[in-house]
Amino acid sequence: MPGRDAGEPRVTGREALVPYATVEGQSGKIAASVAERLTRAGWATRLLDAASDQVGGLDRFDAAILVAPLHAGHYPEAIAAFTARHRDALGRVPSAFISVSLSAAGEDPGDRAGLQRCVDAFATRTGWRPDVLHHAAGAFRFTRYSLLKRWALKYIAWRRGQPTDTGRDHELTDWRRLGEFVDRFAAEALAQARAPRP
């Protein structure tokens, strides 16, 4: 999914950046939803595939929401490299991180602690710590997996009490909670953002 402008007009006079990385497609879908939500809140919004990094400097942006999936305890190299490269600019504006994982679909304290360790490791590696964090559940893409991966993830789904029908995909993302998080961030960032440029 290439970078694109998610909407006009610039009602607030502010511009938000939504860099993302995706592996199986759900994080890209979440990032697009975030960009659309910010646009509806009055922000001029740029959706950007972090692997392309075709944005140059970030000085023109007044806020940023990064979206990335967690696989085997790590975030994609593309988002880690992007974040490390732009950490100073990200640190100067209101920022958020949406971490996408299957573990976020449950309420197990051990899973939550593990997710926090992964976020902390990402912050240590990149030198950037977001102002706010949201864990979004991803999806089981059973129809796209190899036979071995399909059965491995079916077992994981069964252990967690999640859908195990491998004949179709299962989206676990809580879109309502995600939307509420983005709306809250948009309002708070608007209050913090620097004055509109002339």
| Per-residue confidence in pLDDT tens, the chain, 198 aa | 444 444 444 455 789 999 999 988 899 999 999 999 999 999 999 999 998 867 777 888 999 999 999 887 899 999 999 999 999 999 999 999 999 987 776 676 667 788 899 999 999 999 999 999 999 987 767 777 677 777 776 767 667 777 777 777 767 788 999 999 999 999 988 877 644 544
The pLDDT assigned to 148 comes to: 79
The pLDDT assigned to 145 comes to: 66
3.40.50.360, 3.20.20.140, 3.40.1160.10, 3.10.450.50: CATH of 4-138+174-192: 3.40.50.360
For residues 109 and 87, give the distance between their C-alpha atoms in angstroms, rounded to a whole number: 30
Please give the structure tokens belonging to residue 132. 């706010």
- Extended strands (E) in 22-84: 44-49, 63-69
What is the pTM for the complete model shown?
0.81
Residue 65 burial by Cβ neighbours in a 10 Å radius (0-12, 13-18, 19+)? buried
Q: Where in the chain is the domain with CATH 3.40.50.360?
A: 4-138+174-192
